[in-house]
Amino acid sequence: MSDAVTRSCPVCETDRDFYATARTTVHLGEKWKFRCPECSYTFVRIDSIETA
Ligand SMILES: [Zn+2]
């Protein structure tokens, strides 16, 4: 998985290039934390499955 991902940001209301700020290995797989460079909105993804 790349350390950057393009997706829509609910705060900016447009597509942003989110970048990974942290990557840890958990029992479910690899846990990634991505952050919007514009507004600092973050989301977490575990093995490509996005969590709330
Ligand atoms: Zn944003």
pLDDT, tens digit (0-9, with 9 covering 90-100), for 2-44: 689 999 999 999 999 999 999 999 988 999 999 999 999 999 9
Q: Is 31 exposed, middle or buried (0-12, 13-18, 19+ CB in 10 A)?
A: middle
* Ligand 1: centre distance to CA 39 (Å): 4
Question: What domain range is 42 assigned to?
Answer: 4-51
Q: How far is the CA of 19 from the centre of ligand 1 (A)?
A: 11
Q: What is the pTM of this model?
A: 0.79
pLDDT the model gives residue 49: 82
Count of domains forming the chain? 1
Residue 48 pLDDT > 80:
no
Cα of 42 vs centre of ligand 1, distance in Å, is: 8
> Ligand 1 centre and the CA of 11: distance in Å?
5
Confidence at residue 52, expressed as pLDDT on a 0 to 100 scale:
64
Q: Residue ranges of the alpha helices (H) in the chain?
A: none
CA 30/CA 22 separation, integer angstroms: 10
pLDDT over 90 (residue 47) = no
Q: What is the pLDDT of residue 1?
A: 54
Q: Distance from the CA of 21 to the center of ligand 1, in angstroms?
A: 14
